[in-house]
Amino acid sequence: MMSIKYNKELEDWYDVYKNQIEKSGGNKSYMEFKIKHKKKLIKILKKECNNGKILEVGSGTGIVCSQLASEGFDVTGIDVNEHIIKLAKELEREFFGKRKVKYIKKSMFELDFQEKEFDLAYSVGVLEHFDDNMIMDTIKQQLRIAKKVIIVIPTKWFDDDETLHGDDRFLTLKHWRNMINKSGGKVIKEYSYPFKQKYYQRIKNIRKIFRPKAYRVFLVEER
């Protein structure tokens, strides 16, 4: 059952996204930046899905799923906030010229799809906003309805200034692996990719530019 805190946060996310769009200079600028930023992730998803049927869990403004749909993938996006779904449809239509993603208003804790209906289910920056029991609940449900599950979470290198809601849980990778295991899954593969920001580190008086791995990607299958 959803808590009062959870319901309040759902109401706030629409304002968070609208503020992001405004700061970026409008719908087009927002989409261009976000798609470029998630280029590595999109490449990973395409590789692991292999032209199959895809579900994005907690699709938000639909950045990733609309890009995948524009490339010919059969994509469904679910979100519990109808205002955010409306915004995602608007962004997709304006940026790509037409809509292809099938959006459904649905909670990730009530995934009543058929068993293994999707080739791939994925979530990006979603699960870290919930407690352990809720995370394990939705992972278990995703493993039932999809052949593969991809979970993308922020690491300790994620820039605090970029947190959207302020309640992100920066858990250890060991903690995530344990929760996945308790949910009936097994980690098949792991990826990492950097955020846009560059950090500097001095090594023997030489300034070296490096891009820390701000995101961890778990590819999971049912045990």
pLDDT tens profile 86-109: 999 999 999 999 999 999 999 999
> Is pLDDT of 207 > 80?
no
Query: Can you tell me the mean pLDDT for 43-53?
Result: 91
pLDDT higher at 3 or 33: 33
Predicted local distance difference test score (pLDDT) of residue 195: 55
Lowest mean pLDDT among 21-35, 75-89, 154-168, 197-211: 197-211
Q: Which domain holds residue 34?
A: 4-222
Number of domains in the chain: 1
Q: Is the dihedral of CA 200, 64, 19, 132 positive or negative?
A: negative
Amino acid at 183: S
Predicted local distance difference test score (pLDDT) of residue 165: 52
Instruction: Extract the tokens encoding 67.
Output: 């890009």
% the chain with pLDDT above 90: 72
pLDDT higher at 206 or 119: 119
Predicted local distance difference test score (pLDDT) of residue 169: 87
| Residue 192 C-alpha from the chain's centroid | 14
Predicted local distance difference test score (pLDDT) of residue 192: 87
Give the span between the Cα atoms of 159 and 174, in whole angstroms. Answer: 21
Predicted local distance difference test score (pLDDT) of residue 140: 98
% the chain with pLDDT above 70: 81
Predicted local distance difference test score (pLDDT) of residue 94: 96
Closest CA to 130 of 7, 44, 214: 7
Q: Is the dihedral of CA 141, 42, 180, 10 positive or negative?
A: negative
> Is pLDDT of 50 > 60?
yes
Predicted local distance difference test score (pLDDT) of residue 1: 38
pLDDT higher at 7 or 49: 49
Lowest mean pLDDT among 31-35, 188-192, 199-203: 199-203
Predicted local distance difference test score (pLDDT) of residue 200: 44
pLDDT tens profile 135-163: 999 999 999 999 999 999 988 766 544 44
Residue-wise burial string across 19-31, b where 16 or more C-beta atoms lie within 10 A, e elsewhere = eebeeeeebeebb
> Is pLDDT of 4 > 50?
no
Average pLDDT, the chain: 87
Here the CATH number for the domain that contains residue 107 is 3.40.50.150
Q: 132 vs 82, 94, 169, 183, CA distance in Å? A: 26, 37, 10, 10
